Amino acid sequence: MTSPVEAADLRARVDKALAAFLAEQTSRLIGIDPALGAVAEALDDFVLGGGKRLRPAFAYWGYRGAGGADCDHVVSAVSALELVQASALIHDDLMDRSDTRRGLPSVHRRFEARHTAAGWRGGAAAFGDSAAVLLGDLAMVWSDEMLHTSGVGAIELIRARPIFDEMRTEVTVGQYLDVLTQATADTSVERAGKVARFKAAKYTVERPLLLGAALAGASVEVREAYSDFGLPLGEAFQLRDDVLGVFGDPAQTGKPAGDDLREGKRTYLVASAFARLDEAGRAELDLGLGDQGLDDRGVARLRALIRECGALAATERRIDELMTASLATLKAARIEDDARDVLRSLAEASTRRTV
């Protein structure tokens, strides 16, 4: 049986695997040119400086639930998911023009400041943007390398590869759909749900679970149960993220209050508000969305609109519905009981969180 210590220890093991991999990459980059030390340092800080490690946790316990035995090589393999996450976040911050991540400067702002401090030629902002694109790409390249050098067997890698590839495609096109939705001002709940599903839901829970299942050689029955458990849970996770993006406490989230509103995010929460507001309310919400100069008073007004029309309550109800469906599937799934208990705890933590 899994002990609480074993479950809690996984994060430390993931961090250790990531630190070892990044240390090797740092030596490699500095060997090319000492100037790349800044790149290695930035990625090291970004990857190891925070994060909930949810994706490796779902993958690992998906593996254990399918009968896989504990193994450091598998921990290293699932840790590669954190590099996919780093790539997505670096690019996401750049596209959203976010100044901070986890309470620290975002990568593009970090390199913009580096350019300014050094007094280099050209535009500091353009330099920062270019650096963020390249560092995000590098993190994605390294995710592939970490998986393939993890030490798991060739057969396991052959099974895992299609899941890993599909996941990276889904998160990338999901990000594009998010950008497109903002550009076209699509306020439909259907579009918001699709963006949530592909931008975050699938690669946060379902695909990591299926990656773990593939490494363990799970049956079709287990893989189907993981999809039925993971997809609604992933959507609930993203809806919670959407709520925090509007109503979260900056001291806990590490992001400015109402940042999603300034960025013009057309989330399920916002789409629900558009569906419920009258014409005047929709016009006011539409005017404020995407306004980079939106002050605290403006944020408070848009929050009031979203809350008073019932969109916040509707989103909370949707989270509860998704959680109910997800946990019912998990309860019925034919997987190891110890892993089931940990997966239930992960599900509750990922949707009841405040950060």
pLDDT at 248 over 60: yes
CA dihedral of 111, 114, 120, 123, whole degrees rounded to 10: 40
Q: Scan for tokens 């702002």, then name that residue.
A: 109
Give the residue extent of every domain in the chain: 4-351
Angle, vertex CA 165, rays to CA 339 and CA 222, nearest 5:
30
Tell which wins on pLDDT, 250 or 167: 167
Structure tokens at 70: 């504990």
Who contacts 74 (Cβ-Cβ below 8 Å, separation ≥6)? 60, 63, 68, 150, 152, 212, 215
CB 84 within 8 A of CB 167: yes
Q: How confident is the model at residue 1 (pLDDT cuts 50, 70, 90)?
A: very low
Q: Please report the sign of the dihedral spanned by the C-alpha atoms of residue 222, residue 224, residue 227, residue 232.
A: negative
Assign 355 a pLDDT band (cuts: 50, 70, 90).
low
**Span 152-163, pLDDT tens digits:** 999 999 999 999
DSSP three-state, residue 104: strand
Q: How confident is the model at residue 5 (pLDDT cuts 50, 70, 90)?
A: low
CB neighbours of residue 27 within 10 Å: 10
Distance CA 49, CA 15 (A): 10
Is pLDDT above 70 for 251?
yes
Q: What is the pLDDT of residue 6?
A: 63
Looking at the chain, the whole-number percentage of residues with pLDDT higher than 70 is 97
Q: Can you tell me which residue has the tokens 């040119």?
A: 33
What CATH number labels 4-351?
A: 1.10.600.10
Q: Is 0.75 surpassed by the pTM of this model?
A: yes
| Residue 101: closest CA among 135, 59, 141 | 135
Query: If you ran DSSP here, which 8-state letter would residue 132 be given?
Result: H
Q: Take residue 31 and report the two structure tokens written for it.
A: 């060997």
Over residues 215-240, the pLDDT tens digits come to 999 999 999 999 999 999 999 999 99
Mean pLDDT, the chain, rounded, equals 93
